[in-house]
């Protein structure tokens, strides 16, 4: 590995002026959110998709599949909310509603044998990587049929068979595992890549500098995806983050960096796909900052009084990733409203079934508490 040190600088990718990629269908009149800056900008040397999301010539199947996946996450989370309110699940639930395009666009760029690490707000990542609704819901309810046999719960869902190395209760807990999986892929001589989801809050954990630096010096196939939803728990990101753009830290670590409009699933997909192929080629790691927003509180039960109704309304009206994609598909004749509604209905049924499955599944027997400590 030491030999690679000379190649530490991320290869500059051809600079191309990119206008703020506002998702089509977004309100043209009022494109500025009340507080946060969202226009997609990017640092100088980031990988970039060849075409900015041109909806013509888009693969219709892929759009449908991303649409469906986003709806699946939305409905799953709505049911988690419901399950929580009805007292059917123990613990906490951090919902991903509003951020679906990030997980779906990013995971659409991955292969099944690629790795991800996830966060406390991880249901979306897990579903986007291909997990089953029923086993996820069962895990969230603490059932034996859950992915982790009821030992992890909402904050620790993992499906290693699909490369999901697990969500983390420690903010920033995924940096090491994700970067290590990339090191491992490189050492084993595979072309797998590893993608690390983390929040704007996690971006202030020191270990990011350590792992990002190692990714840079060893050219590791890792993609750091910062989900900047502009709050860490109750605290606005800009109150606790020194650099205005988190992605600006990438260059300092020797990583390529790019900032993306995270509500635009195509933009997310294309940027991550470019980062993935760059990583697979052996050209190293990329840091992607996704501007996004959670439509619910930090967790179920958080009334989110620390932000204004106006701000929330703006995001829901202008940056709902599902609406944006749906409108675009209609505009380009890929979908019509009734077909979209049919998808919604089908997915709703699937999720209801998953909830039923999970409700009826047995709790793990107490003696299992002592299993799985050691291999």
Partner 1 sequence: MAEITYREAVIQAMSEEMRRDDAVFLIGEDVGPSGGIFKCSEGLFDEFGAARVIDAPISEAGYIGLSVGAAVTGMRPIAELMFGDFSLLTMDQIVNQAAKIRYMTGGQCRVPLTIRTTMGAGRSSAAQHSQSLHALFAHIPGLKVALPSCPRDAKGLLKTAIRDDNPVLVFEGKMMYNDKGPVPEEEYTIPFGVAEVKRAGDDCTIIAVSSMVGLALEAAQTLSREDEISVEVVDPRTLVPLDEETLVESVRKTGYALIVDEASLRYGVTGELAALVTEAAFDYLDAPVKRIGAANVPIPFSPTLEGAAIPHSETIVDAVRALRGKIRR
Ligand X SMILES: Cc1ncc(C[n+]2csc(CCOP(=O)(O)OP(=O)(O)O)c2C)c(N)n1
Residues that bind ligand X (CB under 6 A): 120-121, 169-171, 199-202, 229, 231-233, 298
Residue number, 66 or 167, with CB nearest to ligand X: 167
Going residue by residue from 102 to 131, which x/- string records binding to partner 1, judged by CB under 8 A? -------------x-x--------------
Query: What's the DSSP call for residue 180?
Result: H
Residue number, 194 or 230, with CB nearest to partner 1: 194
Q: Which of 163, 177, 178 is nearest to 114 (CA)?
A: 163
Residue from the set 180, 257, 262, 284 that interacts with partner 1 by CB under 8 A? 180
Could you tell me the two tokens for 269? Answer: 């997909």
Distance CA 252, CA 212 (A): 10
Could you tell me the two tokens for 186? Answer: 């490189």
Distance CA 203, CA 237 (A): 10
Residue from the set 229, 241, 292, 318 that interacts with Mg ion by CB under 5 A? 229
Query: What's the DSSP call for residue 236?
Result: E
Under the criterion CB under 8 A, does residue 178 sit at the interface with partner 1?
A: yes
Q: Could you tell which of ligand X, partner 1, Mg ion, none binds residue 59, using a CB distance below 5 to 8 A set by kind?
A: none
Under the criterion CB under 8 A, does residue 62 sit at the interface with partner 1?
A: no
H-only helix segments in the chain: 60-85, 100-108, 123-128, 133-140, 174-188, 207-217, 237-240, 248-253, 265-280, 309-318, 321-331, 337-360
Residue number, 154 or 229, with CB nearest to ligand X: 229
Burial class (CB in 10 A: 0-12, 13-18, 19+), 29: exposed
Distance CA 48, CA 156 (A): 32
Q: Could you tell which of ligand X, partner 1, Mg ion, none binds residue 62, using a CB distance below 5 to 8 A set by kind?
A: none
Residue from the set 194, 228, 241, 286 that interacts with partner 1 by CB under 8 A? 194
Distance CA 315, CA 24 (A): 15
Residues 175-204 that bind Mg ion (CB under 5 A): 199-201
Q: Which of 201, 44, 43 is nearest to 120 (CA)?
A: 201
Q: Are the C-beta atoms of 112 and 175 separated by less than 8 Å?
A: no
* Residue 197, strand partner residues: 225
The residue count for binding partner 1 (CB under 8 A) is: 50
Under the criterion CB under 5 A, does residue 150 sit at the interface with Mg ion?
A: no
Distance CA 216, CA 212 (A): 6
Residue number, 196 or 291, with CB nearest to partner 1: 196
Distance CA 152, CA 157 (A): 6
Under the criterion CB under 5 A, does residue 289 sit at the interface with Mg ion?
A: no
Write down the least CB distance from residue 97 to ligand X, Å. Answer: 12
Under the criterion CB under 8 A, does residue 147 sit at the interface with partner 1?
A: yes
Q: Which of 147, 173, 127, 169 is nearest to 299 (CA)?
A: 169
Residue number, 1 or 170, with CB nearest to ligand X: 170
Under the criterion CB under 8 A, does residue 149 sit at the interface with partner 1?
A: yes
Under the criterion CB under 8 A, does residue 3 sit at the interface with partner 1?
A: yes
Under the criterion CB under 8 A, does residue 366 sit at the interface with partner 1?
A: no
Residue number, 87 or 206, with CB nearest to ligand X: 206
Write down the least CB distance from residue 341 to partner 1, Å. Answer: 37
Write down the least CB distance from residue 157 to partner 1, Å. Answer: 8
Residue number, 48 or 307, with CB nearest to Mg ion: 307
Residue number, 18 or 171, with CB nearest to ligand X: 171
Residue number, 5 or 170, with CB nearest to ligand X: 170
- CB count within 10 Å of CB 176 equals 16
Under the criterion CB under 8 A, does residue 356 sit at the interface with partner 1?
A: no
The residue count for binding Mg ion (CB under 5 A) is: 5
Could you tell me the two tokens for 279? Answer: 């990583």
Sign of the torsion angle spanned by Cα atoms 65, 69, 74, 75: positive
Q: Which residues bind partner 1 (CB under 8 A)?
A: 1-3, 115, 117, 146-152, 156, 158-161, 165-166, 168-170, 173, 175-185, 187-188, 194, 206-207, 209-211, 213-214, 217, 371-375
């Amino acid at each position: 590995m030491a030999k690679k040190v000379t190649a530490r600088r991320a290869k500059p990718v051809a600079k191309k002026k990119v206008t703020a990629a506002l998702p089509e269908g977004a309100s043209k009149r009022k494109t500025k959110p009340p507080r946060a800056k969202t226009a997609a900008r990017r640092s100088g040397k980031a990988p970039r998709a060849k075409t900015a999301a041109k909806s013509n010539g888009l693969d219709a199947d892929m759009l449908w599949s991303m649409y469906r996946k986003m709806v699946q996450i939305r409905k799953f989370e709505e049911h988690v909310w419901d399950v929580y309110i009805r007292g059917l699940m123990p613990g906490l639930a951090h919902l991903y509603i509003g951020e679906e395009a990030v997980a779906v666009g990013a995971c659409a760029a991955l292969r099944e044998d690629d790795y991800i690490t996830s966060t406390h707000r991880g249901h979306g990542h897990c579903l986007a990587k291909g997990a089953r609704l029923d086993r996820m819901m069962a895990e969230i309810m603490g059932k034996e049929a859950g992915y982790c046999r009821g030992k992890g719960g909402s904050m620790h869902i993992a499906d290693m068979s699909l490369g999901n190395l697990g969500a983390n209760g420690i903010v920033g807990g995924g940096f090491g595992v994700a970067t290590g999986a990339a090191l491992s892929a490189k050492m084993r001589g595979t072309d797998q890549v590893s993608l690390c989801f983390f929040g704007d809050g996690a971006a202030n954990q020191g270990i990011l500098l350590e792992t990002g630096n190692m990714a840079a010096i060893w050219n590791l196939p890792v993609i750091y995806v910062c989900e900047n939803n502009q709050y860490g728990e109750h605290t606005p990101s800009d109150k606790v983050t020194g650099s205005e753009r988190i992605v600006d830290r990438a260059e300092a670590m020797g990583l390529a960096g790019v900032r993306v409009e995270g509500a635009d699933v195509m933009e997310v997909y294309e940027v991550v796909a470019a980062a993935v192929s760059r990583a697979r080629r052996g050209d190293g790691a990329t840091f992607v900052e996704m501007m996004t927003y959670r439509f619910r509180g930090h967790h179920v039960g958080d009334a989110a009084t620390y932000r204004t109704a106006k701000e929330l309304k703006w995001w829901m009206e202008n940056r709902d990733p599902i609406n944006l994609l749906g409108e675009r598909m209609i505009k380009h004749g890929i979908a019509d409203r009734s077909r979209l509604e049919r998808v919604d209905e089908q997915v709703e049924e699937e999720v209801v079934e998953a909830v039923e499955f999970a409700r009826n599944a047995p709790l793990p027997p107490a003696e299992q508490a002592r299993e799985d400590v050691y291999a």
